[in-house]
Structure formats: C-alpha cells, structure tokens
Amino acid sequence: MRTDTPWSTLPAREHLLAAAVGAAGAPVLDVVVPVYNEEKDLETCVLRLHDHLARTFPYGFRITVADNASTDRTPQVAARLAALIPEVRSYRLEEKGRGRALRTVWSHSDSPVLAYMDVDLSTDLNALLPLVAPLISGHSDLAIGSRLARSSRVVRGSKREFISRAYNLILRSSLSARFSDAQCGFKAIRREVAQRLLPMVEDTGWFFDTEMLVLAERAGLRIHEVPVDWVDDPDSTVHIVKTATDDLKGVWRVGRALATGALPLDRLARPFGDDPRDRAVPGVPRGLARQLVGFCVVGVLSTLVYLALYSLFRLGAGPQTANGAALLVSAVANTAANRRLTFGVRGRGGAVRHQAQGLVVFAIGLALTSGSLAALGTASGAASHSTELAVLIAANLAATVLRFLLFRAWVFPDRRSDHRDARKGSAHELRNVR
C-alpha cells in the first residue's frame, strides 16, 4: 500500500506512520542485535526473535545482526541466517564497540523506527510491541525498557542489582537524569530523531546508551519507559569493573560538557511536530504565564540573596555602598538565572551581551533603591535598620516590575517565531531526505 498524501497536509504526529506505509520496501521496524563472539547463541536468538515478530508484530520488520569485530564464527553464522531468512541481514564492522555498531547501523537504516536488544534476550520479548508502539504513532521520540520500574519483574544476582541501582543513582545526582534505567539493553528511537541525535553522541562503547538518553532528555525529547520482565544471563561476557570505570569517565565528560554549554542541544529542542507550549492562550501573550512564574521564583530568591548581602555589607559600609554592592552581585546572578530558567536561553551564545544589558537594568534598579534611601535619609535622618529594609523592599518591588518588562521586551525578546521557522525548515529537510 502506498500513500500519495502530501506531507504538508498531514498532522505532525502522523508523519512517521505515513512514512512507514509509504516508503517502498522499507520495513517499519529495524531491530539491531549487536554481537561480539556470539557464535553459540546467535542463531537461537535470531530464530526466537524472528518467530516472535512474525507472530505478533503487525507491520513489516527487519532483524540486523551487527557484528563488531568478532574473531570466532559469528560472521559466518550471521551470513547464513541472512541468506536463509528474508527479514534478516548481517552487518560487519572491523572495530569493537556496541555504541559504534548501533550508530553505524542506525545511521544507514531506512526504517522509521530503530530498536536494539542484547543477544542473550534477557528481556521478555512481549515488551517489544509496547516499546515501539509510541514511536510508530509519533507520540514519543525514544523508548527504553526499565528493570527498575515498580511493576518490572527481574531475576538477577544481588551484585548486579546493586551496581545497576548505584549507577542510576549516580546519573540522577550528577546529571539530573529522570529516566529510571540507562543500561537495560532494550531501547528504540525514531529514525528522524536518531539522525539529529547520534552525531552528538561521542561514546562508542557501553556508555553510548546513557549519553544518548541524557542528551535527549536535556533537549526536551520525549522518552517512553516500559516495565520489563528480565532474567540475568549468567554467561554474560561484560567486564563489570572496566565497564563501570568507562561509564564514570563518560558521566564526567558529559557533565562537564553540559555545565559549560558545549553541547548544541538547541538543535534538538522540540524540532519534531507541534508542542502545546508553543500555542497561544486567548487573551494571554505567548509564554507570559510561564515566564511570570519563573521570574517570580528567581526574583524571590534574588531578593533574599540581596537582603542577606546588604545586611552583611552594612556591617562595614554605609547604606549606599552596601546597597550598590549587594545589588550588583545579586543582579549578575539574577540575569544568569532568568536567562536560563525564565526565558529558556541555553548555551554561551550572547551571554556577555545579556549580562551587559542586565547591568543597564541593574542601574535602573540601583537608581530606584538609592533614590529611596536618599529620600528616607532626608525625611527622617538616621533611620533604623528595619525601616531601611522596609523601604528597600518597596523600592525593589517597583524595580522588579520594570526589570521584568525590560527583560521580556529588550534583553530576552520572544524569538519563538524564529524557532518555529527553524522547525519548519528542519521538517522540510526531513521530508527531502525521505
């Protein structure tokens, strides 16, 4: 069956399914099985997986054996299976690395949904359709199997259980990861997402999965999690100590890149389909409510910091000097926080200009608060510290309203229309690729 419906007339969520139905000869799902020296288990794995897909999967599928530099008979076994079964193909790489194998095969696949699973088939295959269904429909961008979900049923030793949970705890605490299981060898991704995401993933080994998920999550892509039934493979050849060491190095590298803004995540920021956060609410300027909430939160924290600094500086300086120093320090922090949290500006581009503009806004606030202090001194002479604070709070409220208006209109003007134009351009490029 083939559809000639123009891409531009289809809702964004239907693009993927239309591509699946309309692409001549391209199966909807490509399941990659990365292997290294698996001559004993490969045939059993492929036959079992093929049988399951043939019985349960409602669309066309392909199984790709990605052999990364095996030194035993694995290439011959893979080639024989590919010759006997039409839905199976083999791919040989001359370098080791599960991440390298997945990147290579996924980058060359013509299927709209790409998945992978470990050759030991530790994960119950009944979770495969729930894994890829949200990707086929276009609801989600990536999908992962989770052994740590509450409804998962897992059989494995206490040592591996501890390592897995400790690793995911490290990811949550160091990289603010919200997905529950980075290491489960049971994942899927939409091809159009992979085309943008994979070039940013540096790792070629076991950390590949984690890096891909962290970048996707930080970019705002939607990750679907499926609880799985999982039975540990006692004959696994994974070297736990070396893998753990490499993973920790990867966590440090990715964390440093995220902290310095070195990763161009804006390329991934909601480029696929419509986002309700881009829709206007009748009677309310676009994004105003969310920005007001973020600005108020940042403002409250900045005010507390400002008052604490003023009280500290006031111990050794006059009120004007203490006010100027406290306002300057809190203003720099306020501009940085509003830039990232309130107005969603990421990366280092334009940061210096934003801080310079923020200092202009700071000068206006300084004039308001300093003027208030001067007026207080003229009116009442030596005022008490509590009176000074009360006057400063009132002056800061007025300065805050003006600061928000200047931030919104001048320092961080709404460029979402530019983002929408960019997303339309990205969608046009994807259609040309197809």
Residues classed as catalytic: 209
Phi, psi angle pair for 236, to nearest 5°: -60, 140
Q: Treating both helix axes as pointing N-terminal to C-terminal, what angle do 351-380 and 385-406 enclose, rounded to 10 degrees? A: 140
> What amino acid occupies position 406?
L
Distance CA(158)–CA(131), nearest Å, equals 27
Instruction: List the structure tokens of 413.
Output: 């003007």
Contacts of 318 (CB under 8 A, 6+ apart): none
Element (H, E) at 190: strand 186-190
What b/e readout covers 353-374, taking b as 16+ CB neighbours within 10 angstroms? ebbebbeebbeebbebbbebbe
- Amino acid in position 383: A
* C-alpha–C-alpha distance, residues 61 and 192, integer Å: 18
Per DSSP bridges, beta strands 186-190 and 113-117 are: antiparallel
Measured in residues, the chain has a length of 434
Q: How far is CA 94 from the centre of its chain?
A: 31
35 beta partners: 67
Phi/psi at 147 (5° precision): -90, -10
Of the candidates 264, 272, 338, the one whose C-alpha atom is nearest the C-alpha of residue 300 is 338
- Our measurement of the distance from residue 139's CA atom to the centroid of its chain's CA atoms, rounded to an integer in Å, reads 16
- Phi, psi dihedrals of residue 54, rounded to the nearest 5°: -65, -30
C-alpha 159/C-alpha 1 separation (Å) is 51
Alpha carbon distances (Å) from 421 to 97, 148, 418, 426: 38, 40, 5, 9
**At residue 164, what are phi and psi to the nearest 5 degrees?**
-65, -45
Backbone angles phi, psi at 114, to 5 degrees: -120, 135
Q: Where do we find the tokens 């990715």?
A: 254
Cβ contact 175:214 at 8 Å: yes
Read off the tokens for 310. Answer: 């003023």
Instruction: Map residue 169 onto helix, strand or coil.
Output: helix
